[in-house]
Structure formats: structure tokens, C-alpha cells
Amino acid sequence: MRAVVLLSGGLDSYTAAAIARTQRFTLYALTIDYGQRHAREVEAARAVARALGIERHLELDVDLRAIGGSSLTSDAAVPRHRDLKGTDVPSTYVPARNTIFLSLALGWAEVLGARDIVIGVNALDYSGYPDCRPEFIAAFERLADLATRAGVEGARFRVHAPLLALGKADIIRRGLELGLDYGLTHSCYDPLPGGRPCGTCDSCILRANGFREAGVADPVLLG
């Protein structure tokens, strides 16, 4: 069975894809280059797709900088050194991003005859992103059945979010069990020249906390 997996080049989507692979899905990876600061992510997505033995990897450009409204798609500063216990939606929230990404994945899934979409969102670690919550995922599944020819003909789409209830350390432990090479991934929102992670943005902090709690070194920071 085919599944479309949204692959960003980060640690989460790599792990979500690997979990889907254990469920015997044939994976079709979709990477959206949306004009984010961290275009380095797209290179990481290619490396991850190769490592996973993806059936096909489709890259699409959708310039969300034209829409703006996020520190990831504008020249506004990304937050640094934050305490990630809050619940506010951070400035790195990109308006409707996961809705846009899932819609594109849905279109491709329908063309491929796939009924399954995989996304690496998680709601347990601090994120504050509205479009990472289980109720959002459930609402998208209902929409997908109404939106498509396949749905009219009786198909039921499923959005798999296998990391939804996992903390970052649990995600990393699960990925290491599956033999993943996290040295291929990229998480930083605003990398230094040369592509190395900044170490101070929310995404770097979450990642560092996860590796620390899992008791392993982050291969990206080695060597």
C-alpha cells in the first residue's frame, strides 16, 4: 500500500516515515520548499529520502514568503534562548502551513491511489502550533473524504501522525531502534553560514533537550 509522507528534512518527519515503513507502506515523499529560512532542510530531506529508500521524492515550491506572517518566512528575528514551557503560539508559526502541506499531500495521494498520509507533527513537547493538535488532524481527515473524487467514491483517507503523543526523547529513542541516522537531519530554524545549527532557536533547544534526555549525542554536533 502506498502512503504519501511529508518529509521536511527534520528529525520528526524522518522518524514518522520510518515508522510508516515498518507498517509496510510504500513511501512517496513530498517536500515543500516554502521559502523558509532553513532551505538547508531541503538538502536534508533529499538525504533522508535516499536513506529511507523512498519510492519517489517530489519537491514542490510554494513561496509562502509572499504571504508572510512568520519569522520563518520573513526577515523578522526568530526567538532565541526561550523557556519552552509557555503555551503562546510562537512567531515561528507559519499561517496555515500544515493545512497547505496536507492539502498538497492529499492531491498527490489521490493521484497515486494512496489513502494514507504521514506527517511528523507532535503535540506533547512544547510546540504551541495549532496545526499540530490531534483535533486538527481529525478535522483534516474528515475534510479529505469530502474534498476528493476518491472520497465521493467511498475512500476514507487517514492522516497518520505517529509522533503525536511522543516527547522528543521518545521520538529519538524510537528512531535509533529503527536504525536511523540523525546525522542526515536538520532542525535549526536559522542556521549559521555553512549550514550548522545555531543552537539557540526553539528547534535547536528542543532537539538538544531530546538528545540529552535520551542519553545520546546528537550526531549533527559531532565532528
Q: Which alpha helices (H) appear in the chain, and where do they start and end?
A: 11-22, 40-52, 97-112, 134-147, 149-152, 168-177, 202-214
8 Å CB contact between 140 and 148: no
Residue 99 vs 200, nearer CB to a second copy = 99
Joined together, the cell numbers standing for residue 192 give: 549559521
Residue 67 vs 169, nearer CB to a second copy = 67
- Considering only residues 39, 47, 62, 198, which one is a binding residue for a second copy as defined by CB under 8 A? 62
- By CB under 8 A, tell whether 46 contacts a second copy: no
Rounded distance between C-alpha atoms, residue 13 and residue 74, angstroms:
24
- By CB under 8 A, tell whether 221 contacts a second copy: no
- Considering only residues 39, 47, 51, 58, which one is a binding residue for a second copy as defined by CB under 8 A? 58
Residue 11 vs 49, nearer CB to a second copy = 49
8 Å CB contact between 94 and 67: no
- By CB under 8 A, tell whether 165 contacts a second copy: no
- By CB under 8 A, tell whether 104 contacts a second copy: yes
Residue 104 vs 169, nearer CB to a second copy = 104
Rounded distance between C-alpha atoms, residue 180 and residue 192, angstroms:
25
8 Å CB contact between 63 and 93: no
Rounded alpha-carbon distances, angstroms, from residue 101 to 5, 52, 64, 105, 106:
10, 21, 11, 6, 9
Tell me the three state secondary structure of residue 122. coil
- By CB under 8 A, tell whether 164 contacts a second copy: no
- By CB under 8 A, tell whether 152 contacts a second copy: yes
- Considering only residues 45, 106, 159, 172, which one is a binding residue for a second copy as defined by CB under 8 A? 106
Rounded distance between C-alpha atoms, residue 125 and residue 123, angstroms:
6
- By CB under 8 A, tell whether 222 contacts a second copy: no
Which 118-137 residues touch a second copy, going by CB under 8 A?
130-131, 133, 135-136
Q: Which helix (H) or strand (E) holds 165?
A: none
DSSP code of 185? Answer: -
Beta carbon of residue 79, minimum distance to a second copy (angstroms, whole number): 15
x-marked contacts with a second copy along 79-98 as a string, rule CB under 8 A: ----------x---xxxxxx
- Considering only residues 39, 143, 164, 208, which one is a binding residue for a second copy as defined by CB under 8 A? 143
Binding site for a second copy (CB under 8 A): 58, 60-64, 66-69, 89, 93-100, 103-104, 106-108, 110-111, 130-131, 133, 135-136, 139-140, 142-144, 146-149, 151-152
